[in-house]
Each structure stands twice: as structure tokens, then as C-alpha cells.
Amino acid sequence: MSAAWRELGKESLVKSFEYHRRRGQPPPDRLCDALLEILPAGSGIREAFRSALDDARGGDEAALNLLVARGEWATFIDGFYKGAPIEEYSYANRYVVALEAALVEPVRLIREQDFLGVARVMESDELTAPLLSPEMSHALAAVTSQQRLGPVQWAITLETALSHLAAWSVSIEERRGGTDWGDVSALFDGPGGPRGIPGRQFYRVLMRATQQRSMMGLVNCLSDSRGSPSVPLAVETLKRWSAGMTLPEEELIQRIAKKCCPDQEEYLLRLLWAARYLTLLGFVTENLLTGIARHVDAPGAAELFAPWPTFPYGQSSFQSWCQQRYPFWYRYHQGRLAAGEKCPAASNPS
């Protein structure tokens, strides 16, 4: 972020904001006005924020609440869509905005270290309740300090991330108007196992899409009529993909698809993105579990690290958790979209 501010020539402005933030002081009006000038003119974003800020300065409590409640994701997405009405967002982005709005009160309670209150609020909200399994709710309510929030917070984050992946899948169907077009459950096929599962499954999908039975067959498919490789790919590289040790670069998958299965290019690129997303989630979770394992015999470890080492909703592995929960979230978001999901009124000041 600091590099971005430097490129804009506004690093000193941000440092001034930080100066006042560290001292618990509200920034002076001149700094707020200078920051608003950075926002793009003509899209409605700058004008909406300036109007809300002016109203808040005039003592309008509703305008002040709007500025405080507006989340970082809602602000970013509004900027991405250049101030367009929220109805024009993709379904996944509408879901993110609605979910962020639903988490305003839990975030406030976390700051107050009222973790029992956090659990109660999340359990009572229709948007956040499905993110909490019974063991996650119990662990959240039992947290005694923000320092001890981490393990259960990651469990909730993990479930939320999978929900977002399913929402993204449904967004693709919304855009294309095709049933199951965005489904990425092919990445979860097969028995449970270690972290490399999404990568290994992507390799299998790639081989099916190119209609090749062997690594050498795919290498040969990528060669021109003279036998020279038109797409640089070695058998050793395919071995790493098949073991889930590495994931291919997007450009390479594009070239493979164009050569061997042009009608599958979009599908393969979509699965590759999902495989990267899932691999990151698995990697972070495995690191967490490795750290927990070193202290599992310490007094009070079970309460401190709850709900781990069990994955959300009682699953024993990352793979089995994906296999159980992704179909749930996929159907959940299809249902929300079909029912005309609700958009929080305060999420878009324009």
C-alpha cells in the first residue's frame, strides 16, 4: 500500500493520517478533503463520500453512522464498479458486501472482547449463522481474550472462504445463464489426503480435457508437425503437477488449451484459479495444525486451540471438509440467487 501511495504522490498525506490515528485524534478537515480529492471524479464515489462527510460534520448522526459502518470491502467494490448501483455487482460481490455489513456488530463486540456476544449475534443472523458449526460457536463463546481468538477465527474464515468460492461459482452461472457452469467440485474428487489434492485433481481434469492418457501423449500433442514442441512442456513438469507439488502458470494452460482443446480453455482457467485459492487455504491450515501439534499435550491445549484439530463441521481433513461443505455452499448460493438475495441498504452511499 505504501508503494501505491508513493506512486500517487500522496505518501505524506497518509503519514499525516497515521500521525493523528496513533494519537487517537480525529484527522482535521483539510486532510479529509485532500483524501477525497484522490477519489475519481464523475463516478459518483467522491461526491457521495463528500456529501456524507459534510452531513456528518454538521451533526447528522445517520450520516456519521453510514461512514463508520461502511466496510473496506464495500468501499473497494464500489470503487471497482465506479459507483454503479449494487444491483449491477456480480452475485459474489453482492454477497461479500452483505456479509461485511452483517459482521459490523460482531467486529464491534470483538473490540470490546465480548466473545459470547459475538457468538450470539452471529448465530442469530441468517447470513452469518451457516458459517458457524456447533463446535465453532462453542469455541467462540469460550474465548477469553483477543489473543486467544486466532484458532476459532481461522475456522470461521476458512468456512467463509469456501462459501465465497461457491458464490463466485454461482456468479459465473449468473453471468452465462448456464446451470452448473461454474461448479468446481471436480477439484474435490477422490479420497482425502495431503495438501496437494486440488493440484493433483486439476492435473487429472487437464488430462481429460486434452483427451490424453499419458504425460508423453500430452507432450506430443503440444508438438508441431515436425515434432518440435510448440508449447514448452517437459514430462518432469507434468510429474510435479500430477503430484500436486506445483500448479501451472495461467499462460501455459492457455497455450495448452488453444493447442489441444480450445473449447475447454475458459473451464480450465476457472478451475486453475479455484485450485490456487484452495491450495492457499490448505497451506495456511496445514501450517496452523503443525503449530498446534507441537503443543497438543500442554495443559489447556484443547480449549486454547478449539475447534481444532477437527475441521469445520466435524471433518477430519481438508479434502473431506471441501467435499462436504462446497456442495452445501453451492446449493445455498444458488438458492439465494434464485430467491433474489437481499442487499443491505447502507452498503452503497450513492
Lowest mean pLDDT among 4-13, 115-124, 145-154: 4-13
User: Are residues 322 and 190 part of one domain?
Assistant: yes
Residue-number span of the structural domain to which 227 is assigned: 185-330
Percent of the chain with pLDDT over 70: 85
Lowest mean pLDDT among 26-30, 121-125, 206-210, 318-322: 26-30
Residue 313 lies in a domain: yes
Residue 266 lies in a domain: yes
User: Are residues 189 and 75 part of one domain?
Assistant: no
Q: Which contiguous run of DSSP H or E holds residue 95? A: helix 91-102
Residue 142 lies in a domain: no
Distance, in Å, from the CA atom of 78 to the CA atom of 43, rounded to the nearest integer, reads: 10
Peptide bond into 307 cis (omega under 30): yes
Collapsing DSSP to helix, strand or coil, 125 comes out as coil
pLDDT at residue 331 greater than cutoff 80? yes
Residue 88 lies in a domain: no
Last residue of a domain, one of 67, 82, 97: 82
- What tens digit of pLDDT does each residue of 77-123 get? 887 887 788 899 999 999 999 999 999 999 999 999 999 999 999 99
Last residue of a domain, one of 34, 56, 82: 82
Residue 195 lies in a domain: yes
Degrees to nearest 5, angle at CA 199 with 198 and 205: 85
With cut-offs at 50, 70 and 90, classify the pLDDT of residue 221.
confident
DSSP string of 155-187, one letter each residue: HHHHHHHHHHHHHHHHHHHHHHT-TTTT--GGG
Last residue of a domain, one of 47, 65, 82: 82
Residue 316 lies in a domain: yes
Residue 144 lies in a domain: no
- Asked if 308 and 319 count as a contact pair (C-beta separation under 8 A), the reply is no
pLDDT score for 189 = 78
Averaged pLDDT, 308-314: 94
pLDDT score for 73 = 87
- Asked if 208 and 257 count as a contact pair (C-beta separation under 8 A), the reply is no
With cut-offs at 50, 70 and 90, classify the pLDDT of residue 346.
very low
Cβ partners under 8 Å of residue 250, min gap 6? 269, 272
Distance, in Å, from the CA atom of 265 to the CA atom of 271, rounded to the nearest integer, reads: 10
Averaged pLDDT, 13-33: 85
Lowest mean pLDDT among 33-37, 296-300, 307-311: 33-37
How does DSSP classify residue 223?
B
Lowest mean pLDDT among 128-137, 223-232, 310-319: 223-232
pLDDT at residue 345 greater than cutoff 50? no
Distance, in Å, from the CA atom of 286 to the CA atom of 171, rounded to the nearest integer, reads: 29
Averaged pLDDT, 265-285: 94
Lowest mean pLDDT among 171-180, 199-208, 269-278, 337-346: 337-346
User: Are residues 196 and 59 part of one domain?
Assistant: no
pTM higher than 0.85 for the full model?
Answer: no
pLDDT score for 71 = 76
Higher-pLDDT residue of 216 and 230 is 216
User: Are residues 67 and 190 part of one domain?
Assistant: no
Specify the number of domains making up the chain. Answer: 2
Degrees to nearest 5, angle at CA 168 with 167 and 172: 115
Mean pLDDT, the chain, whole residue set: 86
Residue 143 lies in a domain: no
Degrees to nearest 5, angle at CA 295 with 289 and 146: 75
pLDDT at residue 226 greater than cutoff 90? no
